[in-house]
Amino acid sequence: MTITLSDGRKMPRLGLGTWPMDDEQARQAVTQAIPLGYRLIDTAASYGNEAGVGAAVADADVAREELFVTTKLRGSQHGYDAALRGFEESRARLGLDYVDLYLIHWPLPGRGLYADTWRAFVHLQEQGLARSIGVSNFTPEQIERLVEETGVWPAVNQVELHPGFAQRELLAWHAEHGIVTESWTPLGRGPKLFDEPAVAETAAAHGRTPAQVVLRWHLQLGAVPIPKSADPERMRQNLEVFDFSLTDDEMARISSLGGGRQGGDPETYVEL
Ligand SMILES: NC(=O)c1ccc[n+]([C@@H]2O[C@H](COP(=O)([O-])OP(=O)(O)OC[C@H]3O[C@@H](n4cnc5c(N)ncnc54)[C@H](OP(=O)(O)O)[C@@H]3O)[C@@H](O)[C@H]2O)c1
């Protein structure tokens, strides 16, 4: 299952997150995930596991073109020249000719360099080195600034999204502008969310696990979730979410849990 990005390329509808794995954990997890059917792998320079991801991709029995590898620029490499260097370093660690999706990890508005950084991303896409380009943790105002300065829209905005933080307005804005929403921390990092009656009761009604219900909720919102699991049984479970549907009432109930962010606020977060 894929979704078509605004640049015409296709992206898998669900992927594997790799934070906070180290190189060896990521190599093992990706090696296990690919035969299960995972095609989208999410990493970042700041995770310190690109080499592990790249080793698993190199050893996979699946052609490179069938895989979709996303990585992200670290905060200390914002700016045009620094971003180009950061990309080359990531590409070397991954051992890849090209990256499928390259994201600005955080906007870092205090540094004021994200538009220059985006110019470098546009260049990398023109060179074919980053097939698709996007952002992570950007607000609509920050995305509008990128477009004003370059005329190029990000294909993806990867943001914190889970039933406790449903981001309704942002999702509507993304849809209006043809931006695919990719959901980080899609399971809200686990157990507490799974015990919520809205999730647990819906899971029981469908004979599914709470994690499967939450991932299905993302798919029906039109988002691309990237659950992290290092456990092959949970990885398999997290992929088996394309053969059932939640009702409108179930979707609304799960969307109204509340609770708020678990991660950083894009306006203030400082990532190095
Ligand atoms: N762009 C950004 O700024 C940003 C920020 C944070 C994260 N991310 C990306 O998003 C990915 C996912 O986010 P996340 O790791 O924070 O949170 P998450 O995917 O919501 O939750 C991961 C936790 O859930 C557990 N889990 C996974 N599947 C399960 C299942 N079926 N049943 C029960 N427990 C399950 C995992 O444990 P096991 O491993 O033991 O299964 C792990 O403890 C990251 O790995 C990273 O790639 C991006």
Average pLDDT over residues 34-48: 98
- Whether residue 270 is predicted with pLDDT greater than 90 in this model: the reply is no
**C-alpha 100 to ligand 1 mean position (Å):** 21
Q: Where are the domains of the chain?
A: 9-187
What six digits make up the tokens of 89? 């370093």
What's the pLDDT score for residue 32? 98
Q: Give the model confidence (pLDDT) of 201-250 as tens digits.
A: 999 999 999 999 999 999 999 999 999 999 999 999 999 999 999 999 99
Confidence at 167, pLDDT banded by 50, 70, 90: very high
- Cβ of residue 46 lying under 6 Å from some atom of ligand 1: no
- Whether residue 191 is predicted with pLDDT greater than 70 in this model: the reply is yes
Residues involved in catalysis: 47
- Cβ of residue 192 lying under 6 Å from some atom of ligand 1: no
Mutate to test the pocket of ligand 1, among 14, 16, 19 (most ligand atoms within 8 A of CB): 19
Torsion of CA 205, 232, 70, 78, to 10 degrees: 100
Contact 21, 222 (CB under 8 A): no
**C-alpha 184 to ligand 1 mean position (Å):** 8
Ligand 1 atom with the smallest distance to the CA of 21 is 45
Ligand 1 atom with the smallest distance to the CA of 238 is 31
Mean pLDDT of the chain: 97
Residue 60 one-letter amino acid: A
- Cβ of residue 199 lying under 6 Å from some atom of ligand 1: no
Beta carbons within 8 Å of 126's beta carbon, 6+ residues apart: none
Q: Which fold has domain 9-187?
A: TIM Barrel (3.20.20)
What's the pLDDT score for residue 170? 98
What six digits make up the tokens of 188? 């809200």
What's the pLDDT score for residue 65? 98
Q: Give the model confidence (pLDDT) of 104-163 as tens digits.
A: 999 999 999 999 999 999 999 999 999 999 999 999 999 999 999 999 999 999 999 999
Q: Reduced to 3 DSSP states, what percent helix, strand and coil does the chain have, rounded to the nearest 5? A: 45, 15, 40
Beta carbons within 8 Å of 179's beta carbon, 6+ residues apart: 6, 134, 143, 153, 154, 155, 156, 157
Average pLDDT over residues 160-183: 98
- Whether residue 272 is predicted with pLDDT greater than 80 in this model: the reply is no
Confidence at 271, pLDDT banded by 50, 70, 90: confident
What's the pLDDT score for residue 176? 98
- Cβ of residue 117 lying under 6 Å from some atom of ligand 1: no
**Rg (alpha carbons) of the chain, rounded to whole number:** 18
Q: Residue 37 gets which letter from DSSP? A: T
